[in-house]
Structure 1
Amino acid sequence: MTWHVSQDDLRAYARGELAPPRLWSADTHVGSCADCRAVLAAVSDPLALDAGWERLDAELDAPRPGLGHRFLVRLGVADHTAQLLTATPVLRRSWLASVACVLAATVLVVHAVDAPALFLALAPLLPLGAVALSYGPVLDPTYEIAAVAPTHGFRLLMIRTVAALTASLGFNCLAALALPGYGLLAFGWLLPALALTAAGLALSARLGPVLGPGLVGGAWTVLMAVAALHPTGTPAAFTTAGQSVAAALAALATLVLHQVRDRFDAKPY
């Protein structure tokens, strides 16, 4: 080396006060000069150096946001809300692929045997299952973080519910569009799906996120099985009267859910 960085410049470099172009020269030279690195270590403040390494470690260890997270932020969703949404288990590709395969198989069977009741019976269970799997300690990988976070439990539940419903109802609608021969009957699952989901959420406030939706889903399955054993054309749940009952049940369950919303802050799960 024919030259070295002066001690004054090295002190300014260590404090982060050295300005270009001297900064660029010092940065390049220190990387290849052991003598200047030794002088830099001698004139550097150990506490400041340690703090710098800690900041660097924190930056390197910080998780990189995924594609879904970045997409939601670009849409205007707050960063912390985007994190809650992208951590929802039912938004994983494995879950979405499974739902798509189940619906595709069901549509093919309906086309083969001309039995729309099969699709109508299955479709309301998918949103209910998606919501049930979107929170609670059983399947939520971020439950422990959410349990101690200063976030209203009911708000977290609603964020996850909207995400799960959006994904499930979107797939269901695409499947219904693949059954054009049945007209509006192919969308008869929508009100029952909303009623089952709202009822499952209302019961989960007292029974938990597994048992509550499980009882609702079981009751729906029994109802559809009984209807299949006594076929009378369109199942009663998808007639005008049945749709009216589903709408009323959805409204009632939503009201009950609002009344018991504070129970979700107790974090009983």
Structure 2
Amino acid sequence: MSHVSLDLVRRYVNGDKDIPADQVWALEAHMETCASCRQLLATRTDSLAPLLQTVWSGIETVEPPAKHRRIPTWAAPAGGPWLGMTLLVAVVAMLLDLLGMTEVPLVMLLAPVAPVLGVAMAWNRAMDPAYELVSATPRAGLHLALRRTAAVLVVVIPALVLAGLPSGTSPALWLLPCLAFTLGTLALGSVIALSHAAAILAGLWAGLVVGPSLINSNLPQLLQPASLPIWASIVVLCVVVMALRADSYARLR
């Protein structure tokens, strides 16, 4: 509408209940941007003029709101320290390998479970101060957990590759197990908290594989080329479990 008609203004001021709702909405929306029509409205009643002037002066003096901070979707708010700890562990393992303090490349032994610390923070109610807002977003749940997990892998995997270079550790032997443990943490996290899932899987790997391998000074069979089909099967199984239990990620545990 170009301008409000005098008759419509008169009916609006007098509280006419027969004005269609769409016309009322259009009139009020137009008043927000048209000073001349606001003045016309003010002239229809003396009692309304001071109120309009007071309200409009308050609106004009309000500063525009600061730009809203976006909810982090590619990195967990509390994931930084855990990610830093993971990188520190990789550096320490590389130094130990360089010093020859272990017969088996320590980087290779730790690489499969290295990302799980960061993954544990991807969808964790206790570690996300904005969990109520996060859980209400359209992309919350498994979609958000996968995005944050991808952000962890983008950082951790290149770091592990660089850490394994001095000892000649081949990423081909630990990359698939690393993916299996990452997806396994997410799959088990659909039943229990992700932090608990990460702790269980990392603890089992440390107790059943890392410890005996360091004691026996032998590369475990689970990191031999013959075991890759097994890891591939685990990856497929975890993907199926995650797909079937996708709805369980609707809430932060």
Scaled by the length of structure 2, what TM-score is found? 0.70
Within the candidate set 232, 239, 242, 1:247 is matched to 232
SS state at 1:100 partner: helix
8 Å CA contact 2:173, 2:223 repeated in 1: yes
CA distance, structure 2, for counterparts of residue 257 and residue 192 of structure 1: 17
Deviations 1:208-262 (A, max 9, x none): 212222211111112222333344x321111122222222211211121111111
Matched, 1:47 2:55: yes
Contact 1:106–1:118 (CA under 8 A) maintained in structure 2: yes
- Quote the Cα distance in structure 2 between the aligned partners of 1:51 and 1:138: 40
Instruction: Describe the SS at the equivalent of 1:124.
Output: helix
Between the aligned partners of 1:256 and 1:144, the Cα distance in structure 2 is 26
1:195 maps to 180
The offset of 1:96, in angstroms, is 4.5
State the distance in 1 between where 2:75 and 2:180 align. 26
The answer to whether the 8 Å contact 1:127/1:193 transfers is yes
Identity of aligned residues (%): 22
Aligned to 1:164: 152
Change (3 A) 1:47 1:192: same
C-alpha separation between the residues in 2 aligned to 1:43 and 1:154? 51
Report the Cα distance in structure 2 between the residues aligned to 1:116 and 1:230, rounded to whole angstroms: 9
Give, in angstroms, the shift of residue 86 of structure 1: 4.5
2:30 equivalent in structure 1: none
d(CA) in 2 for partners of 1:99, 1:89:
14
Q: Identify the residue that residue 102 of structure 1 maps to in structure 2.
A: 89
- Alpha-carbon spacing, 1:45–1:198, altered in 2? closer, same or farther (3 Å): same
Instruction: Give the partner amino acid of 1:228.
Output: L
- Determine the structure 2 residue equivalent to 1:223: 208
Deviation at 1:57, TM superposition (A): 5.5
Q: Is the 8 A contact 2:120 2:198 kept in 1?
A: yes
Structure 1 position 127, deviation (Å):
0.8
TM superposition score normalised by structure 1: 0.66
Q: Cα deviations across residues 65-117 of structure 1 (Å, max 9, x unaligned)?
A: 6xxxxxxxxxxxxxx6x832255432x3x444433332222111011125344
More helix by share: 1
Q: Call closer, same or farther: CA 1:97–1:198 in 2, change over 3 Å.
A: closer
Alignment match, 1:141: 129
> Distance in 2 between the 1:159 and 1:257 partners?
14
Larger Rg: 2
CA RMSD of the aligned region, Å? 2.9
Q: Deviations over 1:102-158 (max 9, x none)?
A: 222211101112534421121222211111122211212322211223334121111
Unaligned runs of at least 5 residues, structure 1: 1-14, 18-41, 66-79
Partner Cα distance (1:96, 1:209) in 2: 15
The residue number in structure 1 matching 2:99 is 112
Q: Please give the secondary structure, in 1, of the residue aligned with 2:128.
A: coil
